[in-house]
Structure 1
Amino acid sequence: MSPSLTAARQLLESYSCIEPKLPTSEADRQALQAALRQIVAEAESENFGICADNQKQGYQVLASYLRACGYDVPFDVDAIADPSPDPAYIKFSTATLKHYTDQYTGSYRGVLVSCQAEDDQINGTYGHLPLDLFTPL
């Protein structure tokens, strides 16, 4: 693994903890964005898990992460109706471009990114990443 890829993984792993960690500066935010993009670029596929205040917010966050990681968004965010004010969990697979939504009863809000690759240095689940990493909410 290249030194820059090792650094990217180490930075992402520093956000992989029980208590969510937030970037404390714009430089930290940009470094986290770059690290995630670098790891995703090396992976064969990813699963995104979004825990949000509601479905609409969750799909907006998912769309921002997909765009930031170089994927087309295979759904129309504006067409998603969210009749429930309840928290939602969304799981999306870049391998199949399929997603599902379920109710979420936990208090955590954020994003988990699980990368799959033949290289064990790339494989891993990263997060809890901020909902607004790529766009302000």
Structure 2
Amino acid sequence: MHSGSISSLEDAHALLKRFDCVHQDATLSSIELATLRQALLVLCDHSDYQILGICADSLSEGQQALQTYAAALGYTINPTFADIAGPVYIKFNPSTGLCYANAYIGDHRGVLVACQSADDSGISDIYGHLPLQLFSEAVF
């Protein structure tokens, strides 16, 4: 994976598009994680809002990812979920206020970030699955 600073929207888009449901790199260095964070924030700055979809091994892991991603993207949330045993899918849509968690039987893990823009000049695309811990303090 490319490491270093992101100098353009095109660089950010190209880097994030390398992450998908099939190809994931769980061994990213701290420099690579920093570059990935920077790329996502650059693209999010060029969209109106972002919808998050989180696939995690547990509700607590999913909630942690939700909190850290939401905070990094400028959202304040405090959702309450019913207890769910096992893997979960959490969806958060700041535009509608929708936030829920369901049991998840799939194998994918990570965060999908769907950038939404009202006009063609903004970013409208889906990125991920990105690392659950991308914005956790432990990786800074």
TM-score, normalising length: structure 2: 0.83
The answer to whether the aligner puts 1:75 opposite 2:78 as a matched pair is yes
Gaps of 5+ in 2: 1-6
| Aligned residue identity for 1:131 | L
Structure 2 Cα separation of the partners of residues 68 and 130 of structure 1:
14
Which residue in 1 is equivalent to 2:101? 101
Q: Which one has the bigger helix percentage? A: 1
Q: Which stretch of structure 1 is more off in the superposition, 93-102 or 31-40? A: 93-102
Residue 80 of structure 1 deviates from its aligned partner by 5.2
The equivalences for 1:21-40 within 5 A come to 21-22=25-26, 24-40=28-44
Which residue in 1 is equivalent to 2:91? 91
| Aligned residue identity for 2:16 | L
| Aligned residue identity for 1:19 | H
Aligned residue pair count? 131
Q: Which stretch of structure 1 is more off in the superposition, 98-107 or 112-121? A: 112-121
Which residue in 2 is equivalent to 1:63? 67
Work out whether residues 54 and 87 of structure 1, in 8 Å CA contact, stay in contact via their aligned partners in 2: yes
Counterpart of 2:24 in 1: which secondary structure? coil
TM-score, normalising length: structure 1: 0.84
| CA RMSD, 1 decimal | 2.1
